[in-house]
Structure 1
C-alpha cells in the first residue's frame, strides 16, 4: 500500500550575519545553510498494517508524513501510495488518504462540527447516503452527538481530536496518516481514540502510519515499529524484537517459602563475571528482586539458578519499560 524508495528532504535556510550593519551585509551577500531533515529512507507498508513511526524531536517524522501525503516534495527519491505518486497524481491519491495532525485541525474554526462535515463531504464528492451512513458509525464510535452543533473553537482538545478523526475518515480512505493524534489528551480521551483506531484497523482493514511520543500508543496499537533518528531509519521490526535487540534487563521478583541464601558472587557481581547476568537489586523479607538479561540467559535457566537459593513460592517478571527501550535506541 505504501512504498518509499530512498527519499531525502533538504531545507535551505539563510545564515544570519552578526555585528554592525549585519542586515545590510546579509542583503547583499546572502549565505545559506543546508539542513538535511530526511536522509535516504526506504520502507514498505502492506495493506492493513498498523505501523508506529517514532523518533526524537527533529528526527524527521513529520517531514516524512508530509512527503507521503504530498504536502512536501522530496528532494530526491520516490513515494508510491496505492500504486500512485502523491506528487504527480495528487488529486487521485488524496481521495485514498486521511491525514490528522494533532496540533492542527482540518475543521472550520468558527463553524459547528456538523457544518464542517457537510463541507468536507462536498469537497470529497461523498454522496449523501454514504455521508449519513459513515457519520452514523462515527457518531456511535466517537460520541460526536454530544458536540455536533458546537463551534469547533469551543471544543475541548479531546472532542476536537475525535471530530478530526471522523473528518479524516469521512471519504473512506484506504490509508490514514496520524501525526501525534493523542498529544495533550487526558487518559480517557486517549483510551477512546485508541479504541477507534484499533477498530478501523482490525475491522475495516485501514492501513495506518502513526507518529507519536506516547509509547503506550505504540505498545497498544502497532504491530510494527520504525525508529527514525537524525533523518535515517535506525530500526524496522516488531516491538518485541526491538526489546530483544536492545537487551535491557528484565526485572524478576521471586518469593521464597522459607530460608534462602543468596550466593555471595551475585551480591557483588561485576560486569566481567558470569554472575553479572543476574544482579540482585533488592532484598525484602522473603522476596528478592533481580535484573536478568534474557538475551544471555533464558527463563528456564534463570528459574533453575534461583531455585538453588531456596524453595521458590512465587515469581513475577516485568519487562523493561518501552520508554527505556526507545531512549536506548536514540
Structure 2
C-alpha cells in the first residue's frame, strides 16, 4: 500500500444451494370383502345355514348361525383374510446418524486451544470442508470475526472486535529489506521471509516490505491524510478507516519490487516480482487480497502489492478453488461500502 496508502481491493460472488426434496410417504389402502357360502341340503328337518363374514377396517367378525353346521367352515382362512384386511403400520424409518459436528472432531479443540489454526483446519477435514461447514453454520468454532485467528475477515462491514485490537506476537521479518514499519505476527513473518527467499531463488528478484502492521492510531493518521488530499469518498476507495484495516491484524503486508533501487509501488503488478507473487504467493500461505475487478465486493481499488497471510492450508484452498476475495470464499456479503 502506498503511503498515504491504499488499503484494500476487490472480490467476486456466487453461491451454490442444494435442495433435497423428500417424497411424501404412501398411505396403505385397505380392501374388504365379504365371502359367503351356501350350505347344501341336509338330512330331514335340516334348517337353513347362514354364514356372514363382516370385515370392517382393521377388525373382522365371523358369525355363523346354523342348525347342524357343516363341518368344513375354514375359520383359520377367515382369520387370515381378516388380518390381511387390516391397515399395515407405517414402515419404521431409521433416522440417519447425525454427522459429528466439525468442531467436535478429534484434535480440533486441542489445536484451537493451543492456537494452532492450521492443525485445527486439518483436524476438521481440510480447508474446503471447513469452508462448507462455516457457510452452512456447522462450524461455530471458526469465528471469522476473531482477530487472533488466521481466518479473520476484515472489510468495510466487518471491523475489528475490539476496534483497537493489537496482536500479541508482533515481530520483525528477518533477512528482508524493510521501509517504514516491518512488523508482522510471528507466523506471518516467518512465512514472508520464506516467500522472499523463494522469489530470489526463482530469479524473480528482490521483494521488500513498504508497510506491515499498523495500529489503530497509525491507520487513523494515514486515512486522515488521504481524506485531506483526496476527499472522503476517494480516500475510502484506497485507504481503510481506522479499525477496518487488514494491516491492524499483523497478517497483511504491502510490498515493492527492488532490483538494486526499489520501484514505484503503483507499478508493482507489471514487474517480474509482481507477476511471480500473483502466481506463487499461495504456496507460502499468502493471497493477493485486492485484485483487479473486485472493488464491487471489497470496496477498494486493486492493490497487487497488498498480500494477506492465511496459512498454507487456507491459501491453497483459496487458490485451488479459483476465488478472488475472502468474502466469496467464506460466503460473506459483498462490502463495497461502510455500513454507515
TM-score in same-fold range (> 0.5): no
Q: Which protein is bigger by CA-based radius of gyration?
A: 2
Q: Which has the higher contact order (CA 8 A, sep 6+)?
A: 2
Query: Which structure is higher in strand share?
Result: 1
User: Which category describes the TM-score, using the shorter chain as reference length?
Assistant: under 0.3
What is the TM-score when the length of structure 2 is the normalising length? Answer: 0.24
